[in-house]
Chain A
């Protein structure tokens, strides 16, 4: 039916369909009688004649063949909605009725022959109509005027036989007398034909309808349409336009899920094609509104189109198609909703017109309209339209619109379009308003209002508020009504001054417990309901108190509050200001202003209430400032005082009391932005001048909290000490406290020590005490709290020493906190102020000295291992690192395994004073006894030093510092040899050297000894000897060395070997022996002359 490429209506669609009746057996060319009959049929076909289209066809005309009907549609897949030729076929080719004209009088002499000829002709027609339900009728053209029925017996008898032979019913046999009244007969014939045609079309409709049950919805979508269309068309031929229209519409509604193409496109994942196809479809249909009276039908249809496409799209998405923000089903639902809204509007308009028409019907002739289906008569058409219009009134328009909108909302939510969503929700709200469901309307509008408010789209906010106000009025919701009024009067509202005046008047009425005037554009019927609701509200005994949280709106009264300062001393009165300003056109009065503070005890000082009849008023645009002040309680020192809210009371007990309540220090949904803009403004340069003239509202900043801080102390705390502190010492810090108060400072307490909040380890390694006479132990705390000092008179001075022992090095912060109380008077009130003065100091702790220890042999050669039972030396060095002189009182050794080699071990350090970088050394001679256990590493013991600062008092305690001595590695020597020789020699003077050789083993040792010759000495004694030494016994060898040269001389080398003990060689033994000796030059006899010469 649809010529795919272009949209041109085919001629079949443009003409008015009429029943098609074929006339045969008429020779209109050569037979004058036949010509006359034909002319009578054709001529003057005015509207009063039945709508039949006649056609003369030869008796043997071939009618279109009827295809064999299928018995089942199961495997049938339609190729389209309708064959293009179908309409033409039924308009022009397949007749509803074939009429055979035959000249035969009842008294024809050759009746028999004629009768059979006629029967043959009928048979021919029947054959060519095979399979169709087309009716056949026979008209006998007679020359004689017929007698009245019943009188001509021959005629009735012959008619019966003719009917019989032609297989016709009596109703299908007509007689046309060819007389003067031809036209009259023709009209009667026509009407009869028309009836036959109607029956034919009726049966056709029945036939088509009967197919329906064989169809299924999946493959036969198109057949549904086809059948509906066929039925519609047949109805039309039957001149049943009502039915035709109905079926047409059903057809279209089937068709509206038409976008089979679209669906296929989606299935093939080519959404753009689908969209393009749809667009094409829509662009075609958009303009085809049809009858203006039924324009809503078009809108409804368009809506349906969009809706269906949206659904298709959505379905495709569910099957895996991806949609995007700018191309999602939401747009189609939205457009569907938009068309539904149009439909509603049109329907409303038209229905109003209709009402008028009903009234003015006799005066106005019905208008003509152009429909593709031309109705039979205007009257019928009119009723048809009215029926539709009346039906339209019953359509739940709002419900449809809301359903579509909520579909769209769901989509836009999914595709990240919050603003589109809000817009649609506004529309939904408005629709609920139209549907008089005000509660739902307000719920939606309230929900989105906040979005528009935060985005600062005042125009849109005002529009929404206006609708919301209407809802609130119509449902007489007092609180909502007041809220919307307040915001519509506020600075964000874009209403005109006039409208604001009206709203303010209404608001004042509500505050007086009166009924407000109705909002404009509310319909009259609802107004009546609203009025009675308001009456109920007024009369109800319920509470007339209302609290409205205005912070999140932009109310017509602005409020900002601030504490004068972010902190107040406890002996100062706390001051705060509340600024109020109204934006409504008329002054507004209020009866109470209260600031609610975090400590409720102060609230009583921050209330202003009007006395008696006098109420406070705000002038439009003029800021007003209220000052409050109060004295803080001393318990609140160190605490924050916060404003938790501000309340402003409008109205009075006699009417309604409305509390506007702000959280914190006031401000509203728009004030933050305004403050920001004000701070950026170039006008701030001229602000100084402006401030002098009056207050600049935008530059008022809010300060919602203040600290109560203690009174300023008049007390000096001074510290004197000598940093750095030395590790472990009792570090003395001298504190001087002097009062500068004018009255007695009572209850002075000192807290001293490590400032809390530092590294936790410091708490364990710091000890504070007041007692400096002994070294404190680990139980002393890191912080001494609240040491009572007593009272201090004005100007009095006090000193204290605090001793600190730091066990580890590093820096520490020490706190000295002097607290006291003092009597003071603030604004006539006596208060006891607690004051305190803090002093902190950072002190570094360093090590006082460094101790180094080393082991050396008796030859002062460094030792890496110590030979058992052979004396060695322990050397200690104490290096002062202190910037202050140190007094080393004494030192001692605490030996574990070693013995001293000297009978009495005595410290060489007694009361030694070390300056910075000076070093004190000591030397101890030790011997390690033979140990029972085989362990060859042994602990030595500890080196103890008692010390103090040189500068500290004489009675101050000494600090013991213990240094753990290093372990030594022991070694046992099988043979010990040592030489006994004088400390020096002299050239050419013999010196005797005695070697003691001792066997330390439990075996007899054989020793080979040899003395190597030397240039510096001559010697006497055994040059080479082999001897045996018994276990534990000793051999002595005596040599006389005769030095030949002066200076340090290497002694003759002694080679010793133990043939039995190969581990001990000459070298390991030689280390016990002196290597060199100092040889003095040969002495000269001292005489007086030489002395004198010297």
Chain B
């Protein structure tokens, strides 16, 4: 289960970021922000070969001592980042993928809301609920 989940706009500013309340929130913000370096690099690498369908899931972005950071980019260049505790070895790649898929679906629902202005931060109870479900229960 994730310790931090973030949605980043096309222009790389955060649309949604939530981390375990028990931990240093700022640290996760930095972790997500720095991971964008890798995301950008991966996106630009794909852009060079035009035509082939891009895989949305970017995989493990980079491992730190304590966390693993995974990335996912939608076709509209909105990025999802999931941070997982390094000690959590039970999580498989497939599970991470399915988390991203769930997140993407929920994000799509948010975008479909006619009252939501794309580019604004996400304020949705449903989305919150989905994210909560993917986070480690605090404590």
- Cβ contacts under 8 Å, A682 to chain B: 114-117
Q: In the complex the two chains form, what is the Cα distance from A677 to B118 in whole Å?
A: 8
- Cβ contacts under 8 Å, B1 to chain A: none
- Cβ contacts under 8 Å, A683 to chain B: 117
Check B13–A457 contact: CB distance below 8 A: yes
- Nearest CB to that of A684 among chain B residues? B117
Q: In the complex the two chains form, what is the Cα distance from A886 to B114 in whole Å?
A: 73
- The listed residue (A326, A423, A681) touching B38 by CB distance below 8 A is A326
Check B26–A459 contact: CB distance below 8 A: yes
Does residue A680 face the partner (Cβ distance < 8 Å to B)?
A: yes
- The listed residue (B11, B14, B33, B41) touching A416 by CB distance below 8 A is B41
Does residue A420 face the partner (Cβ distance < 8 Å to B)?
A: yes
Q: Mark A207-224, 1 if CB is under 8 A from B, else 0.
A: 000000000000000000
Does residue A338 face the partner (Cβ distance < 8 Å to B)?
A: yes
Q: In the complex the two chains form, what is the Cα distance from A681 to B113 in whole Å?
A: 12
Q: In the complex the two chains form, what is the Cα distance from A673 to B117 in whole Å?
A: 13
Check A677–B30 contact: CB distance below 8 A: no
Does residue A144 face the partner (Cβ distance < 8 Å to B)?
A: no
A residues 456-482 near B (Cβ < 8 Å) are 456-457, 459-460, 463
Q: How many A-B residue pairs have CB under 8 A?
A: 63
Q: A423-B30, A676-B119, A680-B117 are in contact. Are A418 and B14 (CB under 8 A)?
A: no
Check B30–A325 contact: CB distance below 8 A: no
Q: Closest CB of chain A to B20's CB: distance in Å?
A: 15
Does residue B52 face the partner (Cβ distance < 8 Å to A)?
A: no
Q: In the complex the two chains form, what is the Cα distance from A419 to B13 in whole Å?
A: 12
Does residue B12 face the partner (Cβ distance < 8 Å to A)?
A: yes
- Cβ contacts under 8 Å, A423 to chain B: 30, 33-34
B residues 105-138 near A (Cβ < 8 Å) are 114-120
- The listed residue (B26, B34, B65) touching A420 by CB distance below 8 A is B34
- Nearest CB to that of B13 among chain A residues? A456
- Cβ contacts under 8 Å, B118 to chain A: 680
Q: In the complex the two chains form, what is the Cα distance from A930 to B104 in whole Å?
A: 103
Does residue B77 face the partner (Cβ distance < 8 Å to A)?
A: no
Q: A455-B13, A681-B117, A682-B117 are in contact. Are A419 and B33 (CB under 8 A)?
A: yes
Q: In the complex the two chains form, what is the Cα distance from A1025 to B30 in whole Å?
A: 126
Check A338–B65 contact: CB distance below 8 A: yes
Q: Mark B46-74, 1 if CB is under 8 A from A, else 0.
A: 00000000000000011011000000000
- Cβ contacts under 8 Å, B38 to chain A: 325-326, 417
Q: Closest CB of chain A to B61's CB: distance in Å?
A: 7
A residues 385-444 near B (Cβ < 8 Å) are 416-420, 423, 426
- The listed residue (B33, B41, B62) touching A460 by CB distance below 8 A is B33
Q: A338-B65, A455-B13, A460-B26 are in contact. Are A420 and B117 (CB under 8 A)?
A: no
- Cβ contacts under 8 Å, A460 to chain B: 26, 29-30, 33
Check B120–A456 contact: CB distance below 8 A: no
- Cβ contacts under 8 Å, B17 to chain A: 459
- The listed residue (B29, B65, B116, B117) touching A459 by CB distance below 8 A is B29
Does residue B36 face the partner (Cβ distance < 8 Å to A)?
A: yes
Q: In the complex the two chains form, what is the Cα distance from A455 to B9 in whole Å?
A: 10
Q: Mark A662-686, 1 if CB is under 8 A from B, else 0.
A: 0000000000010011001111000
- Cβ contacts under 8 Å, B64 to chain A: 331, 335
- Cβ contacts under 8 Å, A456 to chain B: 11-14
Q: A326-B61, A456-B11 are in contact. Are A419 and B117 (CB under 8 A)?
A: no
Q: In the complex the two chains form, what is the Cα distance from A331 to B38 in whole Å?
A: 13
Q: In the complex the two chains form, what is the Cα distance from A448 to B118 in whole Å?
A: 28
Q: Closest CB of chain A to B70's CB: distance in Å?
A: 13
- Cβ contacts under 8 Å, A681 to chain B: 117
Q: Chain B contact residues (Cβ within 8 angstroms of A): what range?
A: 20 to 34
Q: In the complex the two chains form, what is the Cα distance from A290 to B25 in whole Å?
A: 30
Q: In the complex the two chains form, what is the Cα distance from A673 to B115 in whole Å?
A: 19
- Cβ contacts under 8 Å, A455 to chain B: 11-13, 33
- The listed residue (B25, B26, B30, B37) touching A417 by CB distance below 8 A is B37
A residues 312-341 near B (Cβ < 8 Å) are 325-326, 331, 335, 338
- Cβ contacts under 8 Å, A673 to chain B: 11
- Nearest CB to that of B9 among chain A residues? A456
Q: In the complex the two chains form, what is the Cα distance from A419 to B38 in whole Å?
A: 10
Q: In the complex the two chains form, what is the Cα distance from A460 to B17 in whole Å?
A: 12
Q: A457-B14, A459-B26, A459-B29 are in contact. Are A677 and B120 (CB under 8 A)?
A: yes
- The listed residue (A326, A418, A463) touching B62 by CB distance below 8 A is A326
- Nearest CB to that of A282 among chain B residues? B65
B residues 1-35 near A (Cβ < 8 Å) are 11-14, 17, 25-26, 29-30, 33-34
- Cβ contacts under 8 Å, A326 to chain B: 38, 61-62
Q: Mark B76-110, 1 if CB is under 8 A from A, else 0.
A: 00000000000000000000000000000000000
- Nearest CB to that of A334 among chain B residues? B64
- Cβ contacts under 8 Å, A680 to chain B: 117-119
Q: In the complex the two chains form, what is the Cα distance from A463 to B114 in whole Å?
A: 34
Q: In the complex the two chains form, what is the Cα distance from A419 to B26 in whole Å?
A: 15
- Nearest CB to that of B119 among chain A residues? A677
Q: In the complex the two chains form, what is the Cα distance from A583 to B107 in whole Å?
A: 31
Q: Closest CB of chain B to A336's CB: distance in Å?
A: 11
A residues 649-703 near B (Cβ < 8 Å) are 673, 676-677, 680-683
- Nearest CB to that of A327 among chain B residues? B62
- Cβ contacts under 8 Å, A676 to chain B: 119
A residues 15-33 near B (Cβ < 8 Å) are none
- The listed residue (B29, B62, B65, B114) touching A457 by CB distance below 8 A is B29
Q: In the complex the two chains form, what is the Cα distance from A820 to B73 in whole Å?
A: 65
Q: In the complex the two chains form, what is the Cα distance from A417 to B11 in whole Å?
A: 17
- Nearest CB to that of B36 among chain A residues? A419
Q: A676-B119, A683-B117 are in contact. Are A418 and B37 (CB under 8 A)?
A: yes
Q: In the complex the two chains form, what is the Cα distance from A423 to B30 in whole Å?
A: 7
- Nearest CB to that of B113 among chain A residues? A682
Q: In the complex the two chains form, what is the Cα distance from A302 to B130 in whole Å?
A: 39
- The listed residue (A335, A417, A419, A677) touching B65 by CB distance below 8 A is A335
Q: In the complex the two chains form, what is the Cα distance from A456 to B118 in whole Å?
A: 16
Q: In the complex the two chains form, what is the Cα distance from A420 to B35 in whole Å?
A: 8
- Cβ contacts under 8 Å, B65 to chain A: 335, 338
Q: Closest CB of chain A to B12's CB: distance in Å?
A: 5
- Cβ contacts under 8 Å, A457 to chain B: 13-14, 29, 33
Q: In the complex the two chains form, what is the Cα distance from A331 to B66 in whole Å?
A: 13
Q: In the complex the two chains form, what is the Cα distance from A423 to B64 in whole Å?
A: 14
Give the residue among A326, A418, A456, A680 with the most B Cβ atoms within 10 A.
Answer: A326
- Nearest CB to that of B117 among chain A residues? A681
- Cβ contacts under 8 Å, B116 to chain A: 682
Q: In the complex the two chains form, what is the Cα distance from A710 to B16 in whole Å?
A: 53
- Cβ contacts under 8 Å, A677 to chain B: 117, 119-120
Q: Closest CB of chain B to A415's CB: distance in Å?
A: 9
Q: In the complex the two chains form, what is the Cα distance from A455 to B14 in whole Å?
A: 9
Q: In the complex the two chains form, what is the Cα distance from A463 to B12 in whole Å?
A: 19
- Cβ contacts under 8 Å, A459 to chain B: 14, 17, 25-26, 29
Q: In the complex the two chains form, what is the Cα distance from A413 to B65 in whole Å?
A: 21
Q: Closest CB of chain A to B109's CB: distance in Å?
A: 16
- Cβ contacts under 8 Å, B36 to chain A: 419
Check B37–A420 contact: CB distance below 8 A: yes
- Cβ contacts under 8 Å, A325 to chain B: 37-38, 41
Q: In the complex the two chains form, what is the Cα distance from A26 to B28 in whole Å?
A: 71
- Cβ contacts under 8 Å, B33 to chain A: 419, 423, 455, 457, 460
- Cβ contacts under 8 Å, A418 to chain B: 37
Q: A426-B30, A457-B14 are in contact. List 15 more A-B contacts (CB 8 A).
A: A331-B64, A338-B65, A416-B37, A416-B41, A420-B34, A420-B37, A456-B13, A457-B33, A459-B14, A459-B25, A677-B119, A680-B117, A680-B119, A681-B117, A682-B115
24 pairs, CB–CB < 8 Å, chain A vs chain B: A326-B38, A326-B61, A338-B65, A417-B34, A417-B38, A420-B37, A423-B30, A426-B30, A455-B33, A456-B11, A457-B14, A457-B29, A459-B25, A459-B26, A459-B29, A460-B26, A460-B29, A460-B30, A463-B26, A676-B119, A677-B119, A680-B117, A682-B115, A682-B116
Closest 3 CB pairs of A and B: A456-B13, A417-B37, A420-B34
